[in-house]
Structure 1
């Protein structure tokens, strides 16, 4: 899993990051509210841990702005405040759960797992983005109703791009999520996979389905009229 940590205490941020890494999760952190909002808005994460008291932009404002953008990112609040009003404000702003400092790392992990399971349970089984259709259960792909045969890694790459709702995914983020246990992977593996995926999705060179953003990464660049169908 890929977790965003927005926490301004460097030592706590480091401790959380190290604990998540021991679970083979990928963690990315920021100690500034504005930067944290940018990361949450532009990049794909499975869940976010957000402290309420942040410089630049409060945790509550980060949550409000993400929900105003219709972000479905699961959010766990971290707070040193024990007033029940603060917890209620966080939940009403759109957070999914909260944890009061100090806390046990095992409880943090359990709550994150529960949030991600809950989010996955409400996801639709079929995803449509313009001419692209993915069956997330059967791991099958169609372009303009033409079936596309993909390898396991090609499919996983496409699913990551498609479920990120047009956000930018860096090569490092993609590599971490495709090969979480392979520290010796070649740096050009993602480029090769993207090239193969482009050719299979767009053999005539008319759709340009995957956009490259120099020094930033990749994102799916198909039509914006994406919709999800829960019917399967």
Structure 2
């Protein structure tokens, strides 16, 4: 069971985070002070840390920066009421692995936590593979059933993100921020357009469909159809 340290000074938010992570099979511990959070992270082995941006005792930016200086490489999901791009960049440059703004949907937070947990697991050094779909990380070439696929640069980045997190539901916000690199605009259809193009290249007629839409949430790349979430 993954162990998560929740560093959050607002009790209501902290309880919400702990409850959602528990539902997703994680063991969460809560501390309300930045200094205490850093000390706990230094003394114990955690699989993930959720870190509030503004904390008493020690600011969230300082906490993650001190962790990285101390060679603590635990993935950090920063959570902040500050939504400007500059602050997000500061958090990521200090050593944060992802940045989520408040208010947030609990399932979005849990989905990001699961992605960070999976990212920490060893990945094949040269290739990613899901069923008969392969991605060569050195040559940046993709193959389906041994046949080469012609992908544009954005399509390659999108496919790599989907394959690195196969069997996981990825929200549109997660995809947009990772592949395009800036804050998600819920009014844009750019993700749906690129997913559609990628589908036509990967899931051609007669082949097992690998890219699936999770209604109201985002997308999932999987070869195991029985693992797909139930939607209404």
Please report the TM-score for the alignment, with normalisation by the length of structure 1.
0.56
Closer, same or farther: CA 174–81 of 1 in aligned 2, 3 Å: closer
1:103 aligns with 2:36: no
Q: Deviations over 1:59-97 (max 9, x none)?
A: xxxxxxxxxxxxxxxxxxx7727988x965x31xx5379
Does the Cα contact within 8 Å between 1:52 and 1:79 map onto a contact in 2? no
Distance 1:205 1:34, change over 3 A: farther
SS in 1 for 2:151: coil
Identify the residue that residue 217 of structure 2 maps to in structure 1. Answer: 216
Residue 30 (structure 2) aligns with: 53
Alignment length (residue pairs): 170
Q: Distance in 1 between matches of 2:7 and 2:67?
A: 17
Q: Over the residues paired in the alignment, what is the CA RMSD in angstroms?
A: 4.4
Distance 1:136 1:37, change over 3 A: farther
Task: Mark the runs of 5 or more structure 2 residues left unpaired by the alignment.
Answer: 76-94, 96-118, 226-232
Report the alpha carbon displacement of residue 209 of structure 1 after superposing the two structures with TM: 1.1
Aligned pair partner of 1:33 in 18, 43, 63:
18
Q: Which residue of 2 aligns with 1:188?
A: 189
Aligned partners of 1:170 and 1:218 also within 8 Å = yes
Query: Shift in Å at residue 194 of structure 1?
Result: 0.6
Match of 2:10 in 1: 10
Q: What's the secondary structure of 2:134's corresponding residue?
A: strand
What is the distance in 1 between the residues matched to 2:131 and 2:194? 22
TM alignment of 1:120-131, pairs within 5 A: 123-124=123-124, 125-131=126-132
1:211–1:134 CA distance, 2 compared to 1 (3 A) = same
Match of 1:228 in 2: none
Change (3 A) 1:10 1:107: closer
Instruction: Could you tell me which runs of 5 or more consecutive residues in structure 1 were left unpaired when the two chains were aligned.
Output: 14-28, 42-49, 55-77, 225-232
Q: 2:36 aligns with which of 80, 93, 114?
A: 80
Bigger relative contact order (CA 8 A; separation at least 6): 1
What TM-score do you get using the length of structure 2 for normalisation? Answer: 0.56
Q: In structure 2, do the counterparts of structure 1 residues 107 and 87 end up closer, same or farther at CA, with 3 Å as the change threshold?
A: closer
CA contact (8 A) 1:79 1:98 kept: no
Residues 154-203 of structure 1 deviation map (CA, whole Å, 9 limit, x = unaligned): 11111111111311011122112222236668611100111100110122
